Structure 1
């Protein structure tokens, strides 16, 4: 009984100390296991002394103790290896978010690595709950969340989980310990927003994902005109609690007063939600409303620039018109505030489409300098590097992006492409990876389009056709013209019809507008000379998909002098300043 009382007291004290100093769970597991072993030893000693009437330990007694300790220690070692402390991020994702497990697993290298504890200075800003009672107001609480997340992402040496991954947990009552494991963060910020008329109530609380303890909480009742001040107070409170040093000193404002007009801010928040859902045209309209109400709203101009740059990829605007509009919006944003990273991102996207590689490189590097921890900036820079033929550095940047946004379908799909092109994954592994990403992101047009490219290169034509149909369904287009191309690649008997459709069908006009994409299908339809002619003619017109040039599909003509000449016209491969030649 004395031993039990002693063990109970020791566990209570250790639990308090472990919580205060954030000891790993393994310490408490080990302590408990040792106390259990000690109890068994104590029982054996009591029995042995009671039966034999001895007061000194004998050789037999010592042998019994050693045997119990050996068996118990072996069991402890075994369970420590397979228990929660050894669970990797993909397994944790399965427990928390079934779709997430596919993305996380697919975004990891084939060889397993031990799970590491999340850095202490790391945070995920989970979607604030809309307490207005009207689901149509979700955009407001989501937008407030995103603005706080963006503010924290500016802080040096603070790891902030990106929006895509954090918002994967929206509407789910998950164990925060598992959220921390999936997103690899030590803390989460959660809260609620209630808007009524021109007033808003915001509650926020910071929680340690390892212990579940509340580190900080606050409630704010303010006018809508003071919303940025509240966001700034919350962001600074977080940096204080996590003991993160702000660049420029503690007096620096993380969330500036971006607009004085609540209605302009409201349209901006609507645009953020629409853009995240890739309702790009509707997002453009919302941002245009915001800047028409407040023409000095730099952040809204930058977001408008990004949305306009994305329009051609979704078949919603002519490339030249969208590029020109995007550059005007970006220039307006940067003239108002030269520290808006998104303005440089939009410039980088457009310059890449125009094959102005040095300008794109400069713009994206500037964005990285302003927002080094922003997953979207890292993703865009990785896509730029892949496009100019810097494949290894692109993979490095993609891995950095996925560290901050582990549930991003876009980054995971690009990473799968890169690993396949670089022969890091064989055909079987590439197929497993893209299938897992598709399971996790069935509504992502980008993921379905990436799957088409990978399946075509793997000669898995039924899967490519299925993904072509899925992409058409999401894009609201007739699938037959695109699926005919897949069947023509797979079956020589249908190739003539497929080539005719590619060259003349209005349904395939979007493919003909981009020389690289056009040539990509021609070469797979065995139209080698025609593909080379298209590349030569279109080399000066720009491309939104230079990444395709490094796919295995172009290998049959890669050493052809005409292909090399076309690449030279495009300025490819391009080596960024300070980088090794590819």
Structure 2
């Protein structure tokens, strides 16, 4: 029976003897396996007829003139476009209930073929029903939708169409009954909620608001329906392919926004699933070169929105929108997905998946494939493999990976969230050590922990490198593996050039990943390749048009180059996209300080902001108030503010702040050198303790050099100057790192006038975030300004800019 089934499915293509041996006798040696195959063939030929399987040296096949098979009949009808004949030929799951002991390969093959044939049958039924609707033969449509529901009784999309068709022919009672039976079945058997559209349709029918199609629409649908039937065998509905035409055609179908999936799961322990599935679907689609997939930052605000679909399409400049809901209950997964035309709201494709939870990748993969097919994109072999090949054979490992993704994606980089993500990735790898995607994700988590200064130990950097190498060894074509390797060059192995090369390698496999192109723009800025910066930024912005972080980063680069009017405009655009985002408001204020020496804009921005740092961390607004009070030379106000802030030290971005260091500045402004020295002594103890744990932290070395200079410990201050001169930030001074500024300050504090003069002129000539205005405003530069040559420099560079 097993040999007969394989040959029937293979049809006219036939099947090699080697393939049969591998499927049916995987645990036997070649001699015993070939003997088993000969016996099976002999039995079949004896039972049926010797001509049923013609002899061949390489391939075996059934003779269709001798052996009739419903599988062959179904396959031939589908291939020739005879969908009704195919639907009639399909008589249920392939070899339903059949089991073959000791042949796991056959069991796996049988499950796959069973699923494929069932899916093709359902697709044929859907195409027939759609065609019947479009030609106005609603009774026929009811029949075809009924068959589709029989095959997939928990598919709300099919039930919705069945109920609609029944109401159109006037069978209201049975329409309501069919809809309510579906709702009851989902709730009682699976604990799942139906598609809200089914409930709405039942309500409309009860009210007598029957969905009768317009004649004109029916005629138009008739043409589309015939086209759909004609091409369903090829797997692409031409009426759903790329949108082409004149200037009014709108964005192409291949420009896609995948909105966050609605989470309908009531069990909080499973609530993570919807976000993890959404993230992975975005990643898969971003690897398809012919698509333009909108980045997660831009779609994140549309999860619970009631904005009209056409408005969303216009705001994101897309021709297709994916919407869906996810519900997990009792070990089962229910995903309802719609691919929609944003201009009309019409379904381009829709599906309901009711599967065991461990089928998560299969569901995700099928969604990705069906979306790609529906928008008319042909996949390359590599792209097809990326969508269909599971990243792990262990379904539990994949669920742990998805859970890790959800925690990793939570805002603010909270220590606890990152720690949970790390644990889930590690558990996934323990289940499957060859899970390259989990290795890459774990490496990236180590980088985030390191870069946020939660743990900057060499051991953490080594863990990051180990996991990145494992990911790249296991999957050389995996874009996430190349990104993970690129990030290792940020933590203890600084190399902008190698980081850029690794990121570009990743972009070849994930050409539509907005975050990847943003990372490329950042590293190219550090290399000083400004043309490449602009190109990468524009590509990232096109893929993620509503991402305020992208605009913030671009504004910072323009800031660095002294292009202040452009920076101001960019920050304003970021503020329009995210009014509550603190950073662009602060950066806008600093633009006016650097450009014009005007502090009122920053003062007004701070007054309008709550004293919080989004996601926790340093009290950013409070610290900016402290810096502004320093520029305004208001020591008493500064000391009062410091007493209100929680904590003794803070890190924000690349900067390290100390309450005592700011207090020392205030005491100096008041002329209290004794109190200033005491505060600086406290800071020295803090920094030396921190450096034992983070010996390569540039922000600590910068502050220590200044404190040593203030305390008169000249040799130690000069040691920090030499450390800074060897640092990556000082040697690659393209994107305004803080190390050159810190070095110039220390030299000025030490009275190294000639060296300080040369260093300050380099800063003023740019690119840097130091201008004549900041040197005049900030009291830390007062020692430098005692040199009359510095005043001459400030006059020379009084109009900062490119």
Give the TM-score band, short-chain normalised.
Answer: 0.5 to 0.7
The alignment status of 1:414 with 2:601, answered yes or no, reads no
Task: Specify the alignment match of 2:507 in structure 1.
Answer: 368
Distance in 1 between the 2:570 and 2:384 partners?
46
Q: Deviations over 1:88-134 (max 9, x none)?
A: xxxxxxxxxxxxxxxxxxxxxxxxxxxx9423311111112222234
1:216 Cα deviation (Å)? Answer: 0.8
Q: 1:475 aligns with which of 602, 616, 639?
A: 616
Deviations 1:182-214 (A, max 9, x none): 111100111122212332122211111122221
Q: Is the 8 A contact 1:451 1:467 kept in 2?
A: no
Which residue number corresponds to residue 437 of structure 1? Answer: 574
- TM-score where L is the length of structure 2: 0.50
Where structure 2 has 5 or more consecutive residues not aligned to the other structure, the ranges are 1-213, 225-238, 639-661, 669-675, 745-754, 764-802
Q: Would the alpha carbon gap of residues 364 and 250 (structure 1) be closer, same or farther in structure 2, given more than 3 Å must change?
A: closer
Structure 1, unaligned stretches of length 5 or more? 1-7, 28-115, 567-582
For the pair shown, the structure with the greater C-alpha radius of gyration is: 2
- My pick for the range that moved more, 546-555 or 386-395, is 546-555
**Conserved 8 A contact 2:336-2:351:** yes
Tell me the equivalent position of 1:549.
736
Match of 2:199 in 1: none
Per the alignment, do residues 184 and 481 of structure 1 end up closer, same or farther by CA in structure 2, a change over 3 Å counting? closer
**1:537 and 2:723 aligned:** yes
Aligned equivalents of 2:453, 2:739: Cα separation in 1: 26
- Show the 5 A alignment for 1:107-506: 117-134=250-267, 137-248=270-381, 252-278=385-411, 279=413, 281=415, 282-292=417-427, 293-294=430-431, 295-318=433-456, 320-353=458-491, 354-426=493-565, 430-431=567-568, 433-434=570-571, 437-438=574-575, 440-441=577-578, 454=591, 457=594, 460=599, 461-462=602-603, 470=611, 472=613, 474-477=615-618, 483-491=625-633, 497=665, 505=683
Q: Deviations over 1:430-485 (max 9, x none)?
A: 44643553564477687688668657645535368669984657434466667544
CA distance in 2, matches of 1:335, 1:249: 18
Instruction: Look up the match of 1:88.
Output: none
Residues 268 and 287 of structure 1 are in contact (CA less than 8 Å); yes or no, is this contact kept in structure 2? no
Aligned 8 A contact 1:258 1:299 in 2:
yes
Deviation of 1:24 (Å): 8.7
Q: Give the Cα–Cα distance (whole angstroms) in 2 for the partners of residues 341 and 14 of structure 1.
A: 44
Q: Distance in 2 between matches of 1:517 and 1:471?
A: 24
What SS does structure 2 have at the residue aligned with 1:233?
Answer: helix
- Tell me the SS of whatever aligns to 2:323: strand
Judge conservation of contact 1:160–1:373 (CA < 8 Å) in 2: yes
CA–CA distance in 2 between the matches of 1:356 and 1:230?
40
Q: Deviations over 1:512-531 (max 9, x none)?
A: 964379759999xx99x999
Using the alignment, how far apart are the partners of 1:424 and 1:244 within structure 2?
41
Q: CA RMSD in A?
A: 4.7
Contact 2:358-2:396 within 8 A present in 1 as well: no
Change (3 A) 1:314 1:334: same
TM-score scaled by length of structure 1: 0.67
SS at match of 1:254: helix
Q: How far apart, in 2, do the equivalents of 1:564 and 1:536 lie?
A: 19
Cα distance in 1 for residues equivalent to 2:607 and 2:719: 30
Give the conservation status (yes or no) of the 8 Å contact 2:414–2:615.
Answer: no
1:382 shift after superposition: 0.8
TM-superposed deviation, 1:337: 1.7
Q: 1:347 to 1:452 in 2, by over 3 A?
A: farther
Q: 1:256 to 1:430 in 2, by over 3 A?
A: same
Superposed CA offset, 1:48-88 (max 9, x none): xxxxxxxxxxxxxxxxxxxxxxxxxxxxxxxxxxxxxxxxx
- The 2-side partners of 1:303 and 1:445 are apart by 29
Say which SS state the counterpart of residue 381 (structure 2) adopts: coil
- Matched residues in 2 for 1:194 and 1:218: separation? 14
Matched-pair contact (CA < 8 Å) for 1:267–1:286? no
SS at match of 2:373: helix
More RCO (CA 8 Å, sep 6+)? 1
Contact 1:441 1:447 in 2 (8 A): no
Q: Distance in 2 between matches of 1:308 and 1:191?
A: 32
Deviation at 1:274, TM superposition (A): 2.4
